[in-house]
Amino acid sequence: MPIVCLGLNHRTAPITVRERYALAENELPELLVQLLKQTNVDEAVILSTCNRVEIYAAGRGPAQHLLNELRAFLVTEEEADGDDVFYEHSGQSSMVHLFKVASGLDSMVLGETEILGQLKDAYQIALENKTTGSSLNQAFQKAFNVAKQIRTETNIQRGSVSVANVAVELASKIFDQLKDRTVMVIGAGETGEKTARALLSRGAKSLIVSNRSFERAEAMAKELGGVAVDFDHWQSVFDSVDIIISSTSAPDYVIDRKKLEPLQGSRQHRPLLLVDIAVPRDIEPEVNFMEDVYLYNIDDLQSIADDYLRLRKEEIMKCESIVRDKARELFDSHFYSQDDRQDPETPAAGAEPVVN
C-alpha cells in the first residue's frame, strides 16, 4: 500500500495563499472522515500549522492516482494557483519528508521543536477518528523516534530555534533594549505563551494578555506574572504597550488600520512593534504604512531564520544522513520488496510500490 504526501509550506506558498488553505483543528475530524469516503485513501493524517498544510495518506491503487485525489480534495476549481504551490512525495520520498518535518529540518526556523508537538497532535486526531492503519502507524512512530534521535545526537537545535525566539530577535532589532518595554499577547495559545516567555526572559518589563476566553487569559497572565484584559477592551491599555504579539485563530482581522490610527495618534511617536504569527493573519497589512508602526508577519521572520540556517549547515548534513538511513530502513523492512528500493531523492519514473 503506497504512502504519499501532498502539501504546501512557507517555501512554496506565501502567507496570502497559506491562509486560504489553513484548517482549524476542529475541522480535521470531519475532513479525515470525508477524505476516506470520497477517495481510495484508506489511511490519512492531516497536518495544518501556520507554515504548512499536508496530507499523509496510504491507500489502494497507484501512488500518483492517490496524489491526484488528494489534490482534488483540497483544491477547489477557483484555486488557480494550486498546481504551483503544492509538492508531492510518494514511497520512500514521503518517509524522508515526514522524518524531516518531524525533526524540524523542513521548518522555517531550522530545528524548531514546536512542529513535533503539532505533528503528534495531528496523528492523535487521526488515531481518535480511526483514520490510520498499519502503514501510517509505522511511519509516524518511526518519525517520532527519528526526531528524538536527531535531538540527542546532533546540535541542530542549538541557539534560537523557535518562532517565539525569532520574534524576540526581531524585537531586539527594533528596540535598543527590552527591559522597559510592555508586551501584549493577543491569543492565549501555545505559540503566544512561548513568545511571551521568551520576551520576559530577555527583560521585558511587563506583560498583558488578551484572549476571547478571559479565563484562559487570566490563567496565562497568572502563570507568567502579567495581567489579563478582556478581549473586547484591549484598546484601553494600548497606550502602555510597546510590542503586540498576535496569534489568535480568528477568521478576520483583529487589528486593522481604522481601529489602530486613532489609538496610535496619542502615543507621541513611540514606536509600536506588531508581530503577527497567526494564519490566517490577525493584523491588516495596511497598518504597516502608518507612522512609527512596524508590522511583521510569519513570512517576515524568514530572514532571521535564514541567519540560523547558515550557522547550522554542518549539523544539517548529520541530520539528513540519519533521516535517509532511517527512511530506507523502514522502507526496506516494512513496505517494499528488494526490487523496488530506490533513492528517496530520485524516485524512478513510473515505478509502482509492491506490498510485501
In a shared domain, residues 219 and 331: no
The answer to whether position 231 is within a domain reads yes
Give the tens place of pLDDT for each residue, 163-213.
777 888 888 888 988 888 999 999 988 888 888 998 999 899 999 999 999
Q: What is the CATH number of the domain that holds 240?
A: 3.40.50.720
- For the chain, the 3-state helix, strand and coil shares in percent, each to the nearest 5, are 50, 15, 30
Nearest to 35 by CA among 10, 14, 8, 4: 4
The answer to whether position 176 is within a domain reads yes
Contact 131, 33 (CB under 8 A): yes
The answer to whether position 349 is within a domain reads no
Give the tens place of pLDDT for each residue, 298-308.
888 877 777 76
Q: What is the pLDDT of residue 77?
A: 57
Q: How confident is the model at residue 78 (pLDDT cuts 50, 70, 90)?
A: low
In a shared domain, residues 14 and 75: yes
Contact 229, 237 (CB under 8 A): yes
Give the integer Cα–Cα distance in Å for 117 and 104.
Answer: 11
What does the pLDDT average to over 72-81?
72
* Domain count for the chain: 2
In a shared domain, residues 317 and 278: no
Weakest-pLDDT range from 105-109, 237-241, 252-256: 105-109
Give the integer Cα–Cα distance in Å for 298 and 163.
Answer: 8
The answer to whether position 133 is within a domain reads yes
In a shared domain, residues 224 and 120: no
The answer to whether position 351 is within a domain reads no
Residue 209 CB partners (closer than 8 Å, separation 6+): 184, 185, 188, 192, 196, 217, 218, 220, 221, 224, 226, 227, 228, 229
| Catalytic annotation present for 50 | yes
pTM: 0.76
In a shared domain, residues 14 and 134: yes
Mark which of 259, 284, 305 sits at the end of a domain.
305
Q: What is the CATH number of the domain that holds 145?
A: 3.30.460.30
C-alpha cell of residue 203: 527583560
In a shared domain, residues 253 and 272: yes
In a shared domain, residues 76 and 168: no
Bond before 14 cis per omega within 30 degrees? no
Count the Cβ atoms, other than its own, within 10 Å of residue 244. 25
Residue 171 phi/psi, 5-degree rounding, is -60, -35
* Residue 291, CA distances (Å) to 106, 210, 265, 286 in order: 36, 25, 9, 11
The answer to whether position 46 is within a domain reads yes
Q: What is the pLDDT of residue 82?
A: 56
Weakest-pLDDT range from 152-156, 243-247, 284-288: 152-156
Position 327 pLDDT exceeds 70: yes
What is the distance, to the nearest Å, from the Cα of residue 310 to the centroid of all Cα atoms in its chain? 21
In a shared domain, residues 193 and 220: yes
Regarding beta strands 206-211 and 227-230, do their DSSP bridges make them parallel or antiparallel, or are they unpaired? Answer: parallel
Position 122 pLDDT exceeds 60: yes
Contact 167, 91 (CB under 8 A): no
Catalytic residue among 1, 6, 36, 50: 50
What is the distance, to the nearest Å, from the Cα of residue 316 to the centroid of all Cα atoms in its chain? 20
Could you list the residue range(s) of the whole structural domain that residue 144 is in? Answer: 3-158+312-340
In a shared domain, residues 40 and 136: yes
Contact 53, 8 (CB under 8 A): yes
Give the integer Cα–Cα distance in Å for 148 and 5.
Answer: 22
Give the integer Cα–Cα distance in Å for 329 and 334.
Answer: 8
In a shared domain, residues 286 and 316: no
In a shared domain, residues 284 and 211: yes
What Rg value do the Cα atoms of the chain yield, rounded? 22
Weakest-pLDDT range from 39-48, 126-135, 246-255: 246-255
In a shared domain, residues 242 and 150: no
Contact 70, 276 (CB under 8 A): no
The answer to whether position 354 is within a domain reads no
Give the integer Cα–Cα distance in Å for 299 and 306.
Answer: 12
The answer to whether position 120 is within a domain reads yes
